[in-house]
């Protein structure tokens, strides 16, 4: 049996407001994935998600679906 979790990973809104858009920092995203892997989570799939904010700005993110063996 597995348990699943869905996480929306995105950078802070500050980058979007200052730079016009906020892209994912690969170093921080890797740290996020590695921290979850230490807890036994494995990425099943992920989907890029770009959302408009406050009319003129956009914010990049990822919807990440992870699974691990169910713990008792």
Cα separation, 17 vs 31, whole angstroms: 24
pLDDT band at residue 16, thresholds of 50, 70 and 90?
Answer: very low
CA-based nearest residue to 8, from 19, 21, 20, 24 = 24
Residues 6+ apart with CB under 8 A from 10: 22, 24, 49, 51, 59, 60, 61, 62
pLDDT 10s digits, 25-68: 888 899 999 999 999 999 999 998 877 766 666 777 899 999 99
Token pair of 54 as six digits? 């406050």
More confident: 54 or 19: 54
Cα separation, 50 vs 22, whole angstroms: 9
């Amino acid at each position: 049996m597995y348990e699943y979790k869905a996480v929306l990973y995105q950078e802070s809104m500050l980058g979007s407001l200052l730079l016009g858009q906020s892209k994912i920092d690969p170093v921080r995203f890797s740290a996020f994935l590695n921290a979850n892997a230490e807890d036994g989570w494995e990425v099943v799939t992920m989907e890029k998600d770009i959302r408009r904010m406050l009319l003129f700005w956009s914010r990049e993110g990822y919807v990440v679906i992870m699974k691990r063996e169910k713990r008792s």
